[in-house]
Amino acid sequence: MRTIDLIRFAIGALVGHRLRTILSVAGVAVGIAAVVALTALGEGARRYVTGEFEALGANILIVIPGRVETTGAMPFGGVTHDLTLDDVRAMKTRIRHALRIAPLAMGTETVRYGGLSRSLPVIGTTSEFQEVRRVTMGAGRFLPEGDMDQGGSQVVLGIKAAEELFGSGNPLGRIVRIGEWRFRVIGVMAPRGRGLGFDFDDLVIIPVRTNLAMFNKTTLFRVFVEIDGADAMRISEQELEDLMEARHRVKDVTVIAQDAVVESFSSILGAMTLALAGIASVSLAVAGIGIMNVMLVSVSERRTEIGLLRALGAGKGQILTVFLAEAVMLSGFGGLLGLGMGLAAVAVFIEIYPAFPAAPPLWAIASAIGMSLGVGAIFGVWPARDAVKLDPVQALARR
């Protein structure tokens, strides 16, 4: 039997009973739509997070003071051997593949202008940070290049911090007070949002030397080392660890390759997306059972028709194929409809949250289509075999 005739015949049967066809199709559509929408959200989350990391720039090694042997705990807080600007100088000379190195010091302080004040994170770093962290400026400029030992009194504001303190006024050139110290605003960063736990719009950046002095610290919070190529990452990681061990006489720093972090986040979120999709698939299973039920009823209703077809020369295999085709088409249409619904829902979501890159991954779309066809095939087999088992003799004896 030709395929197109088979399809037309099956469609004819489905159209004959519109309500049950619509409901069965709708069931599969709901399930597929759920899967598509959820995987889109999950993928969006994954891309958002990895995107955040990629904004850091590729090929970055992060040096963190402190080393803990118990697995899982990230080092933070007080350490016995400081990570100093001297260490950074040594890195600049000794790490062959280092392209740029940006030290980072942290503190929290009240920032004041006019009558307004806010308690904000105060980051101390150098001009290299702009490249390493791909900072775009909204107005003015970033910290000036120069010797990192030269503390300056310039400050760069995050966009939200600027708005809070200056309203609609122009902050450039103005003097703000950070704690007891005075700083001149030389730039405002473009809106950026959160990244790696910091809200970049809601902080201020000053030269690193000044920061260390202000908070009376000698140790840096982090050092970012940009490497000139992906192949040099491994060697550079080892070089950094060795260099620090030699300088501190102990292994008391942790060097992390930023892509390792991205990897683990990516796989966690990927697993989460898969889990969500799995849950949504429960709807598909229920829809499949619905199709099976409807097909079984249909088969028993069409007893006479089946007997007739056999009399007209249709083989058992052909009858099986017809009913199987009906089931597959029910779920197939449902799949296409669900795909459309799911994509529409994602489009609406993107309208509301443009910053969130929700998009159903290709593997999800492909498996959605595959699943919808599969549901029909799996749940259609039993009713189809039922149809074949019917005794045409008895069927035709009736009306």
Partner 1 sequence: MPAAMDRFVFALSALIGHRLRTALSALGVAIGVAAVILLTSLGEGTRDYVVSQFTQFGTDLLAVNPGKVKTFGMPGMLGGTTHKLTIDDAEALRQIPGIKSLVPMAIGQARVEGGGKGRSVFIYGVGHQAPETWQFPVGQGRFLPPTDPRRKGATAVLGPKLSRELFGEAPALGRRVRIAGTGLLVVGVMEPKGQLLGFDLDDSAYVPVATAMDLFNVDELHEIDVLVEHADLIPDVVEGIRALLIERHRGEEDFTITTQAEMLDTFGRILGIITVSVSGIAAVSLLVGAMGILTIMWISVTERTREIGLLRSLGVTPGGISRLFLTESVVVALIGGLAGIAFGLGVAAIAKFVVPTMPLKTPSAAVVIALGMSLVVGVTSGWLPARRAARLDPIEALREE
Partner 2 sequence: MIELRSLCRTYRMGSEDVHALNNVTLNIKKGEHIAVVGPSGSGKSTLLNILGCLDRPTSGSYRFSGKEVGDLGEVELSGLRQRWIGFVFQFFHLLPRLDAVGNVEVPMLFAGVEKEQRRQRSRRALEAVGLGHRLRHKPEELSGGERQRVAIARSVVMGPRLLLADEPTGNLDRHSAEEIMDLIEQMNAEGLTLIVVTHDPAIAKRAGRIIRLEDGRVIEGGVDLQPES
- In angstroms, what is the minimal distance from the CB of 357 to partner 1? 20
DSSP secondary structure string, 234-273?
Answer: HHHHHHHHHHHHHHHSS--EEEEEHHHHHHHHHHHHHHHH
With beta carbons less than 8 A apart as the criterion, state whether 257 and 61 touch: yes
Distance from C-alpha of 173 to C-alpha of 175, rounded to nearest angstrom = 7
Q: Considering CB under 8 A, how many residues would be counted as binding partner 2?
A: 28
When asked if residue 18 is in the footprint of partner 2 (CB under 8 A), the reply is: no
- In angstroms, what is the minimal distance from the CB of 331 to partner 2? 22
Which listed residue (294, 306, 330, 339) binds partner 1 by CB under 8 A? 294
With beta carbons less than 8 A apart as the criterion, state whether 227 and 233 touch: yes
Q: Cα-atom radius of gyration of the chain, to the nearest Å?
A: 32
With beta carbons less than 8 A apart as the criterion, state whether 175 and 122 touch: no
Residues ≥6 apart with Cβ < 8 Å to 92 = 98, 101
- In angstroms, what is the minimal distance from the CB of 76 to partner 1? 6
Which positions from 165 through 184 interact with partner 1, judged by CB under 8 A?
179-180
When asked if residue 13 is in the footprint of partner 2 (CB under 8 A), the reply is: yes
DSSP secondary structure string, 123-163?
Answer: EEE-THHHHHTT--EEEE--PPPS-TTS---EEEE-HHHHH
Which positions from 234 through 273 interact with partner 2, judged by CB under 8 A?
none
- In angstroms, what is the minimal distance from the CB of 167 to partner 1? 22
Give the x-and-dash track for 84-113 against partner 1 (CB under 8 A): ----------------------xxxxx---
- In angstroms, what is the minimal distance from the CB of 2 to partner 2? 6
Pick 152 or 179: Cβ nearer partner 1: 179
Closest CA to 101 of 91, 112, 111, 109: 91
With beta carbons less than 8 A apart as the criterion, state whether 355 and 191 touch: no
Which positions from 295 through 314 interact with partner 2, judged by CB under 8 A?
304-305, 307-314
When asked if residue 20 is in the footprint of partner 2 (CB under 8 A), the reply is: no
Distance from C-alpha of 45 to C-alpha of 305, rounded to nearest angstrom = 52
Stretch that binds partner 2, among 10-18, 42-50, 277-285, 373-381 (CB under 8 A): 10-18
When asked if residue 62 is in the footprint of partner 1 (CB under 8 A), the reply is: no
When asked if residue 77 is in the footprint of partner 1 (CB under 8 A), the reply is: yes
Pick 2 or 18: Cβ nearer partner 1: 18
- In angstroms, what is the minimal distance from the CB of 63 to partner 1? 14
Cα–Cα separations (whole angstroms), residue 91 to 101, 114, 130, 149, 233: 8, 41, 19, 15, 14
When asked if residue 137 is in the footprint of partner 2 (CB under 8 A), the reply is: no
Q: Furthest-apart CA pair in the chain: how many Å?
A: 103
In the complex, the residues that contact partner 2 under the rule CB under 8 A are 1-2, 5, 9, 12-13, 15-16, 304-305, 307-318, 392-393, 396-399
In the complex, the residues that contact partner 1 under the rule CB under 8 A are 19-20, 23-24, 26-27, 30-31, 34, 38, 66-70, 72-73, 75-82, 106-110, 119, 121-122, 179-180, 215-219, 221, 250-252, 276, 279-280, 282-283, 285-287, 289-290, 292-294, 296-297, 301, 399
